[in-house]
């Protein structure tokens, strides 16, 4: 193991050296966490022999129940776990984040966002597989999973229990901070801003909005994961249909410009103009926004997958492949095409003020409004639904981290704190808290991806065994007919 950590240290030093050596290109600095996410995605994609591409069909067959068995163990269906995770990822990142990525990094950021989505599929597969492998069935009937479990138990099995425990505790603290800020106050403040434009009453009485959304969220989270899953199974498909439908409408209207948009995206991905920070600027914006959108490598969504009913850990990992694909490769790309086709991202255009103010949702609203004049109303409703779904999912993520630290009996305390902050965030300036929690959110990738590196060999072994059973027909034989 000492040799392993020596290799890890060398790897970290190499990345840090890369950050120092190539820190500035055209005035843009490469953040260490972006390099960390890229390295994790590339390594796991190669290790699993491009599982993000070769297992898509089998993953879909699992999702539609073809391989359900009588020995599946868990609390919720695989679909319920997927929609719960998607409800946390499909949200403001798809609306505001994409527009900001293009506004700051240029159209080329779209290409790197798509690449990040594909690499994120491998990250998601690995972390969800480990979450199922090391999940724990608690006495209160709930299931504890996620990075806290595989960091502590996985490293303990390799003889480094203390190191794993430290990493899991750090991750749990970061998770709670991310849930309170990015998963709560940021969502509420963004939703309030959007809704207030259409309903001025809430601009004058914001606390009323906070109370309403707290009641709605509380009605779902004051329960268990089954209630959250049943809610997201309905909400997520509806949200996706509404937003994708509007995107298809716009793209259909500008069908003759889609080829040109892709040409611009590919050209700018490798030869972005200096005004956008060059190619490195496009890469940074693409990967950063993809990370905030699909959360691959962050270690959050494995918590949502942990209660899934399944016999094989690998099987739920394969289902999780669809998260970054749906969130980033499909929905984010559609948004990006509309932004590029309408040209609202141009730095010499009329909407530069929105880019400078980082008002991504407003920029997206303008782009869609060029064809659908009433789209701002739909966008407002979408933002509210996205914020609501993210709130209920991230409340669960934070609650699991809280329980990991303080025990099941304290779960209600966390939920009351979470709901109280939902109300408070409508009447106080949450800027500092949101910025701090966003930093905590990205920092979750540090212990999580380190754990994925250490435990990736075990995942590869499980994957080889599973694929051999699939090829031999054993999995078909044990499935419920």
What is the per-residue pLDDT across 211-268, written as a single tens digit (0 to 9) for each?
988 888 888 777 666 666 667 667 667 777 777 888 888 888 888 888 888 888 888 8
Flag whether 1 is in a domain.
Answer: no
First-to-final CA distance of the chain: 45
Asked if the structure places residue 197 within a domain, the reply is: yes
Identify whether the C-beta of residue 315 lies closer than 8 Å to the C-beta of residue 122: no
Element (H, E) at 25: strand 24-25
CA 130 – CA 136 distance, rounded (Å): 12
Domain of 469 in residue numbering reads as: 8-478
**263 vs 269: CA distance, rounded Å:** 10
Please tell me the predicted confidence (pLDDT) of residue 20: 42
At a CB cut-off of 8 Å and minimum separation 6, what does 383 contact? 92, 95, 190, 191, 194, 195, 361
Does residue 468 lie in a domain region? yes
Query: Would you place residue 98 in the very low, low, confident or very high pLDDT band (cuts 50, 70, 90)?
Result: confident
HSE, CB side, 13 Å, CA atoms: give it for residue 431: 1
Q: What is the CATH number of the domain that holds 140?
A: 1.20.1740.10
Which of 298, 245, 261, 265 is CA-nearest to residue 115? 265
Of 162-176, 192-206, 391-405, 411-425, least confident by mean pLDDT is: 192-206
Pick from 330, 396, 326: nearest CA to 124 = 326
**Domain membership flag for residue 399:** yes
Share of the chain above pLDDT 90, in %: 12
- Mean pLDDT over residues 126-136, rounded? 90
342 contacts 111 by C-beta, under 8 angstroms: no
Both tokens assigned to 129: 């597989």
**C-alpha R_g of the chain:** 22
- Category of 295 on φ-ψ map: left (φ > 0), alpha (ψ -120 to 50) or beta: left
DSSP 184: I
The more confidently predicted of residues 446 and 221 is 446
Domain count, the chain: 1
Task: Please report whether residue 2 resides in a domain.
Answer: no
Which residues, in sequence order, are bridge partners of residue 56? none
pLDDT per residue over 134-171, tens digit each? 988 877 777 788 888 899 999 999 888 899 899 999 99
Stated as kind and residue range, the H or E segment containing 29 is strand 28-29
Does the residue 3 lie in any domain? Answer: no
pTM of the complete model: 0.81
Q: How far apart are the C-alpha atoms of 268 and 250, rounded to whole Å? A: 23
Closest CA to 244 of 376, 95, 465: 95
Q: What is the pLDDT of residue 462?
A: 92
């Amino acid at each position: 193991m000492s040799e392993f950590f020596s290799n890890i240290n060398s790897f970290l030093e190499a990345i840090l050296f890369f950050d120092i050596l190539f820190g500035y290109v055209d005035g843009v600095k490469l953040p260490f966490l972006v390099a960390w996410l890229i390295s994790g995605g590339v390594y796991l994609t190669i290790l699993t022999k491009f599982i993000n591409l070769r297992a898509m069909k089998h993953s879909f067959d699992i999702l539609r129940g073809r391989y359900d068995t009588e020995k599946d163990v868990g609390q919720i269906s695989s679909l319920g776990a997927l929609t719960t995770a998607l409800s946390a990822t499909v949200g403001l990142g798809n609306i505001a984040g994409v527009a900001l990525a293009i506004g700051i990094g240029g159209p080329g950021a779209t290409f790197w966002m798509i690449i990040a989505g594909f690499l994120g599929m491998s990250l998601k597969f690995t972390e969800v597989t480990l979450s199922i492998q090391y999940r724990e069935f608690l006495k209160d009937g709930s299931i504890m999973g996620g990075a806290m479990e595989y960091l502590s138990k996985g490293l303990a099995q390799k003889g480094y229990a203390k190191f794993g425990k430290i990493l899991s505790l750090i991750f749990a603290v970061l998770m709670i901070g991310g849930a309170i800020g990015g998963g709560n106050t940021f969502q509420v403040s963004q939703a309030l801003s959007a809704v207030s434009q259409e309903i001025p009453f809430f601009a004058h009485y914001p606390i009323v909005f906070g109370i309403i959304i707290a009641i709605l969220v509380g009605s779902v989270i004051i329960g268990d994961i089954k209630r959250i899953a049943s809610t997201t199974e309905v909400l997520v498909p509806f949200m996706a249909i509404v937003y994708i439908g509007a995107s298809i409408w716009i793209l259909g209207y500008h069908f003759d410009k889609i080829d040109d948009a892709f040409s611009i995206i590919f050209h700018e991905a490798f030869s972005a103009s200096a005004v956008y920070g060059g190619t490195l600027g496009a890469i940074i914006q693409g990967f950063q926004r993809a990370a905030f959108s699909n959360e691959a490598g962050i270690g959050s969504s494995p918590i949502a997958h942990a209660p899934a009913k399944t016999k094989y850990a690998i099987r739920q990992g394969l289902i999780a492949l669809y998260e970054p694909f749906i969130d980033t490769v499909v929905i984010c790309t559609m948004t990006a095409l509309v932004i590029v086709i309408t040209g609202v991202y141009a730095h010499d255009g009329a909407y530069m003020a929105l880019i400078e103010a980082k008002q991504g949702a407003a920029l997206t609203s303008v782009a869609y409004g060029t064809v659908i004049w009433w789209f701002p109303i739909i966008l407002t409703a979408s933002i509210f639904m996205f914020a609501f779904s993210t709130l209920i999912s991230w409340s669960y993520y934070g609650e699991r981290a809280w329980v990991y630290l303080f025990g099941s009996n304290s779960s209600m305390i966390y939920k009351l704190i979470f709901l109280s902050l939902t109300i408070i965030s409508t009447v106080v300036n949450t800027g500092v808290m949101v910025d701090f929690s966003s930093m905590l959110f990205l920092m979750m990738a540090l212990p999580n991806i380190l754990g994925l590196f250490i435990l990736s060999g075990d995942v590869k072994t499980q994957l080889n065994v599973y694929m051999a059973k699939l090829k031999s027909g054993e999995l078909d034989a044990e499935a419920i007919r």
